[in-house]
Structure 1
Amino acid sequence: MSTFSAIGDEREIDRDEYTPSVEPQPTWCPGCGDFSVLKALKQALPEVGRTPEETLLCTGIGCSGKLNSYLDTYGFHTIHGRSLPVARAAKLANPDLEVIAAGGDGDGYGIGGNHFVHTARENHDMTYIVFNNEIFGLTKGQTSPTSPKGHKSKTQPSGSAKEPIKPLSMSLNAGASYVARTAAVNPNQAKEIITEAIEHDGFAHVDFLTQCPTWNKDARQYVPYIDVNESDDYEFDKTDRVEAAEMMRETEESLYEGEVLTGRFYVDEDRPSYGEEKQAIGEMPDEPLAERYWDDDYEWERSHDMFLDKHA
């Protein structure tokens, strides 16, 4: 079965289909929050009706990069910070493919920060899950973009002199049309948010708090947590950018004071995705570009021919 013949094939999907037939032994540390991301994805994908053949998972480098070794879908293990450009290209070439990108806080907010900002700005139709444990875990405990000020590590033995970035606010300001935060210690909410993110048409950013019991004991387990959408103490309109921005600011400041706020912070269902915008101005074909590889009769267009015509 190819990716093309599988897309749109409605059938019952069992979450066990996402477990590799020869399941590798996970190398995440016991107690690692990354296990919760894997579990949430295995629960969410069947719920939205996506089969392994309809799904592509692009990962970066780091502990989070091991995710597609444990999830039986199409996978692309990119270099550090580069999961988003690969995911964007795949989605534009085959829009019916369900594309998910994943990376850690160092991978996504540091090394790949530029790609993160511009993917959100352009509102590419994909889900981006960032494993945020406030540390570089795979390389053994260096300060990351989300490490709190004063945090001591191998690279900052006297404590970090820098304020951490605010990923939710950065995502909203860049242009993401779905912004949420969940935590490994809240599996039910994690599944619901991942499901909503996959179903969302546009760039869905999920900041997933994943505790690192080995290299970041300061962050503990991200408990207790509060769901801002269910708590009576927090009232805001998640479809209003101004109210969402204020709620995000409070959330990001509270995290380093010991209060873990999670939930859906911003949702824009009306904004067209990047692919839709490109089709509207005639710069993207209705037929998926990737399908042309399977059409023996297709007469290939070469980009250099188009340039030569313009300058002839």
Structure 2
Amino acid sequence: MSAFNAIGENVERDRNEYTPGLEPQPTWCPGCGDFGVLKALKGAAAELGLSPEEMLVVTGIGCSGKLNSYFDSYGFHTIHGRSLPIARAAKLANPGLTVVAAGGDGDGYGIGGNHFMHSARENHDMTYIVFNNEIFGLTKGQTSPTSPMGHKSKTQPHGSAKQPLRPLSMSLNAGASYVARTAAVNPNQAKDIIVEAIEHDGFSHIDFLTQCPTWNKDAKQYVPYIDINDSEDYDIDVSDRKSASDLMYETENALNEGTVLTGRYYHDEDRPSYQQEKQNIGEMPEEPLAERYFDEDYEWERSYDMFLDKHK
């Protein structure tokens, strides 16, 4: 028995299968980097052979929040900064589901920053794609957590006096077990990284550089870019936290100086996911909770019964 009959199918897929019939054409601005995320995600899902019914895309508020409207799968459009707790709950209830959460740099690193930190710390088995365009785009161009120092906007007319947040370093320090950066101008690398992130058993964080030609005209278009994994100028051991941390710091400094470094930075293949840890201590059943809704003979447990027993 399966809560979703499509889970576990091994068939070839075409990226066009993930184009919805209701709203097939995205309404993002011409030249927006968000198109690159959508294309890469469709390509990754097709390469992995995932049916739309095997996937859940959870989004927050902002331009990035339209992703699940333009990607045909199960979807949940949450409020600002809250995509991760919804995604975590869905994955815990049905571990067989491929869960992808998405948000912008304001949504993910600002308003939802606390959820980001603890989702990484707990190593939930999901992929988190952050559309990083260094601006609040949907609300018309306010300074975001990743806007560079000195950037002028409606909220900082004299230029931002704050250093930008370091998303890669923050992710690694919080405990993410897969950390990468890619860019909309590098679609092949972006697709490959999303494939690896989805296949990884743990919390995968992708900082996805997406240019905003409408509200962040001062930002670089993230070209030319350098792939740290292919370049002879950069030496990194993606299984070593110290090596990853050092190059992340260099990458985050370089971006504000006009040099765009992308690639895989950290990959811990041995760390158990949150779901595995909960099963190891007996606090999560082997049978997915989602299956129980399809079992008419299942006798439901109530958490308050356990508390009442302790006080008798």
Q: Within 5 Å, which residues of 2 pair with 1:146-165?
A: 146-165=146-165
Please state how far the C-alpha of 1:13 moved relative to its aligned partner.
Answer: 1.6
**Residue 256 (structure 2) aligns with:** 256
**Residue 170 (structure 2) aligns with:** 170
Distance of 2:181 and 2:10 partners within structure 1 = 31
Distance of 1:26 and 1:193 partners within structure 2 = 23
Residues 82 and 155 from structure 1, CA distance in 2 versus in 1: closer, same or farther, beyond 3 angstroms? same
Q: Within 5 Å, which residues of 2 pair with 1:191-210?
A: 191-210=191-210
Fraction of identical pairs, as percent = 79
| Amino acid corresponding to residue 37 of structure 2 in structure 1 | V
Q: TM-score w.r.t. structure 2 length?
A: 0.98
Please state how far the C-alpha of 1:27 moved relative to its aligned partner.
Answer: 1.6
**Residue 299 (structure 2) aligns with:** 299
Distance of 1:153 and 1:3 partners within structure 2 = 48
Distance of 1:285 and 1:15 partners within structure 2 = 35
Distance of 1:289 and 1:108 partners within structure 2 = 28
**Residue 22 (structure 1) aligns with:** 22
**Residue 238 (structure 1) aligns with:** 238
**Residue 110 (structure 2) aligns with:** 110
| Amino acid corresponding to residue 308 of structure 1 in structure 2 | L
| Amino acid corresponding to residue 300 of structure 2 in structure 1 | W
Q: Within 5 Å, which residues of 2 pair with 1:1-312?
A: 4-312=4-312
What's the C-alpha RMSD, in Å, of the aligned pairs?
0.9
Please state how far the C-alpha of 1:24 moved relative to its aligned partner.
Answer: 4.1
Distance of 2:104 and 2:12 partners within structure 1 = 32
Deviations 1:76-101 (A, max 9, x none): 00000000000000000000000000
Deviations 1:96-154 (A, max 9, x none): 00000000000000000000000000000000000000000000000000000000000
SS in 1 for 2:266: strand
Between the two proteins, the alignment pairs up a number of residues equal to 311
SS in 1 for 2:165: coil
Q: TM-score w.r.t. structure 1 length?
A: 0.98
- Is residue 3–residue 53 contact of structure 1 (8 Å, CA) maintained in 2? no
SS in 2 for 1:266: strand
Please state how far the C-alpha of 1:3 moved relative to its aligned partner.
Answer: 5.1
- Is residue 3–residue 54 contact of structure 1 (8 Å, CA) maintained in 2? no
Q: Which structure 1 residue ranges, 4+ long, deviate > 6 Å from structure 2?
A: none
- Is residue 213–residue 220 contact of structure 1 (8 Å, CA) maintained in 2? no
Distance of 1:220 and 1:150 partners within structure 2 = 14
Q: Structure 2 regions of 5+ residues with no counterpart?
A: none
Deviations 1:28-48 (A, max 9, x none): 000000000000000001211
SS in 2 for 1:131: strand
Q: Which moved more, 1:257-266 or 1:301-310?
A: 301-310
SS in 1 for 2:293: helix
SS in 2 for 1:304: helix
Distance of 1:310 and 1:17 partners within structure 2 = 52
Distance of 1:245 and 1:226 partners within structure 2 = 18
| Amino acid corresponding to residue 197 of structure 1 in structure 2 | A
Q: Structure 1 regions of 5+ residues with no counterpart?
A: none
Please state how far the C-alpha of 1:23 moved relative to its aligned partner.
Answer: 3.1
- Is residue 3–residue 294 contact of structure 2 (8 Å, CA) maintained in 1? no
Distance of 1:69 and 1:256 partners within structure 2 = 32
- Is residue 239–residue 267 contact of structure 1 (8 Å, CA) maintained in 2? yes
Distance of 2:185 and 2:24 partners within structure 1 = 24
